[in-house]
Amino acid sequence: MKVRAAVLEQFDRPLVVQELDLAEPRAGEALVRLVACGVCHTDMYTASGADPSGYAPTVLGHEGAGVVERVGEGVESVSAGDHVVTLFSPQCRKCVHCLDPRTNLCLAIREQQNRGYLPDGTTRLSHEGEPIRHFMGTSTFCEYTVMPEIALAKIDPEAPLDRACLFACGLSTGLGAAMFTAGVTPGSTCAVFGAGMVGLGVVAGCRLRSAERIICVDPSARRLALARGQGATDCWDADGHAVERILEATGGAGADYVFEATGLVSVMAEAVQATRMAWGLCTIIGVAGKGETLEIVPRLLITGRRVCGSSFGGVKGRDQVPELIDLYMRGQLHVDPFISHRMPLHEVNSAFDLMAAQDGIRSVLMYDGV
């Protein structure tokens, strides 16, 4: 079938919206008609050429939601008409990682997915006979996509898909970092560095975990106002004195749980320093630039602080993304404030420009005929 898609032809160049060929789903795969797709920083990061694992040509996009149109042989968990969220972090429910509650990093298709291929080592996208690789196993900057069954989360059909798409990456990453990776406990003090999509999700996750105090640090007054709406009790400007202020506010001890959601190595170092001695946990979520490293004074660790990383918030996608969306449907999550702009596919480069200018939290692509 013919589909319109935004193709990354060359790094550090605008995406090109063009017509591609999309083959039918094979065994274990499903054809999904995309309804909405969030434009995430990871898409822009890859398009810039800064991602050392990036490749081109490819169809970017991974924060999608849509409706299953057809399924390939052997597919049992989704069927035509199901509403789904796309998962760049799949869940096969069979590998050693999927069976272990300590991680969400499924091993089933990881090698091929990292190379831009579907599980059988081929692509379904092509242009004039030349294969186009699948970005993060999803390629949702496209009217339709073919994906592995294990990378689709079946969701409540009543959930608005322009909101549900945010759970495909940014929102779930933040929520999960607080709720699953860190496991924030009731009555605790939390500090969140960064109030973008992920940081705001962290704030909401801390609130849902009944944290007593949630400090959010960001240079944007507008974003801090959104953080307060998600449950932050203290909203501070990132003026270079956040560590001192957090220590002062906690009697010199530091916050029980600290989250870094900026991708800046300098901020990661601040987050570690602001973490409570004895039992504090610092969770690094942001993606640092190519070749950057994080230096930590060992004494911060031998006095009890712990540092961990979080991918997709530790969320086991097929099982837990529907549960997170149910929280939204029950009114426990405020998702509408995250959506700053809605636009058609052909304006995808404008969405990158808005992101670079830090204009709003999330632009959502809305596909024709919806």
Residue among 58, 86, 98, 250 flagged as catalytic? 98
Query: Is residue 280 within 8 Å of residue 273, measured between CB atoms?
Result: no
**142 annotated active-site:** no
Residue among 62, 207, 223, 305 flagged as catalytic? 62
Residue among 37, 40, 165, 282 flagged as catalytic? 40
Residue among 4, 26, 97, 110 flagged as catalytic? 110
**110 annotated active-site:** yes
Residue among 37, 142, 169, 282 flagged as catalytic? 169
Question: How many other β-carbons are positioned within 10 Å of the β-carbon of residue 186?
Answer: 8
**37 annotated active-site:** no
**308 annotated active-site:** no
Task: Return phi, psi of residue 203, to 5°.
Answer: -55, -45
Give Cβ neighbours of residue 74 (< 8 Å, ≥ 6 apart). Answer: 27, 28
**63 annotated active-site:** yes
**282 annotated active-site:** no
**42 annotated active-site:** yes
**40 annotated active-site:** yes
Strands 189-193, 16-22: parallel, antiparallel or unpaired by DSSP? unpaired
Give Cβ neighbours of residue 267 (< 8 Å, ≥ 6 apart). Answer: 193, 194, 260, 286
Residue among 163, 276, 318, 362 flagged as catalytic? 362
**330 annotated active-site:** no
Residue among 92, 165, 190, 216 flagged as catalytic? 92
| CA 11 remoteness from chain centre | 22
Residue among 42, 46, 86, 173 flagged as catalytic? 42
Residue among 41, 83, 134, 276 flagged as catalytic? 41
Only one residue has tokens 């959010």, namely 216
Closest CA to 48 of 88, 15, 19, 18: 15
Residue among 29, 63, 143, 270 flagged as catalytic? 63
Residue among 4, 93, 95, 341 flagged as catalytic? 95
Residue among 37, 106, 190, 206 flagged as catalytic? 106
Query: Is residue 333 within 8 Å of residue 129, measured between CB atoms?
Result: no
**97 annotated active-site:** no
Type of residue numbered 123: T
Q: Which residues are catalytic?
A: 40-42, 62-63, 92, 95, 98, 106, 110, 169, 362
